[in-house]
Amino acid sequence: MKIHLTSVFVDDQAEALRFYTEILGFVKKYDIPCGEQDRWLTVVSPEEPGGTELLLEPSGHPAVKPYRDALVADGIPLAQFAVEDVTAEFERLTALGVRFTQEPLEMGPTTTAVFDDTCGNLIQISTKPQ
């Protein structure tokens, strides 16, 4: 068994696609209309185009807002992405206007940082433990 797909809830799929591709560097994999406004919209890492997909899922369900609001209020990231160098990625994303809620922080064998994805979520980046 392996993880094939995971998701983040987003308020605006078009804006989420722009942020996740133009700012974070993911590439669009699927963009399939689902109803009048929603899309089955996934992105993947350009390093693993056949790897795990991230679904940019519409946040319309009534449970989403209180769930995300509680996570953000407590500073809890909804998802985590691996990067080779957290400090370098922090500097690159900061230069692109990304707002971090936690600057790079060494935590034992890994370093983490947390940013606002502009779509209602906090996302953590981290190095893999050595």
Q: What is the pLDDT along the chain (130 residues), one digit of tens a residue?
A: 999 999 999 999 999 999 999 999 999 999 999 988 899 999 999 999 999 999 999 999 999 999 999 999 999 999 999 999 999 999 999 999 999 999 999 998 999 999 999 999 999 999 977 6
Residues 6+ apart with CB under 8 A from 14: none
Total domains, the chain:
1
Residue 45, domain extent: 5-126
Q: CATH number of the domain that 29 lies in?
A: 3.10.180.10
Radius of gyration of the chain (CA): 15
